[in-house]
Amino acid sequence: MTPMIDIVFQLIIFFVVTTKLDSDTFDTRIMLAFAPDGPAVEQKDPRTITVDVDPKGRVSISRTGLSLATLTAVLRQAVAQYGASTPVHIRGDRNVEHDHIRALLDACGRAGIWRVSFIATKEAAAKIDNG
């Protein structure tokens, strides 16, 4: 019985540590758009690639900045390994210009990825007055 309890505690520690690491992969400075009527994601595909786009149009994956050429190469490698149905989630800042998002969508198209979705928040963020 003692070894089984030890294994359970090790699994709990593993899940606590990996949950913390998953939250550290997103850029917290990105303010997501407000979409109260959008569908909620129930279960995330483990192949999902989440791409962040900051207000200046800089692209990153897991807080690692990438050029569009490098991003296209990464996406092509994902398609070669997992297939064209690899999902891409775009976390674009609410103030990013559309041209930057369009360039990211073009990179997905060049890589052969067709499952692209946008991440938004269902709750409005509190307005901060810098006045």
Give me the residue spans of the domains in the chain: 26-118
pLDDT values of the chain reduced to their tens digit, one per residue, 131 residues: 777 788 877 877 776 666 554 555 666 677 777 777 777 766 778 888 989 999 898 999 888 888 999 999 999 999 999 998 999 999 888 888 999 999 999 999 999 999 998 888 877 654 444 43
Give the model's pLDDT for residue 126: 46
User: What string of DSSP letters covers 10-49?
Assistant: HHHHHHHHHHHHHHTTS-TT--BPB-TTSPPP-S--TT-E
* Domain 26-118 listed as CATH 3.30.420.270: yes
- 78: enclosing H helix or E strand: helix 68-82
Let me know: does 92 contact 86? Beta carbons within 8 Å: no
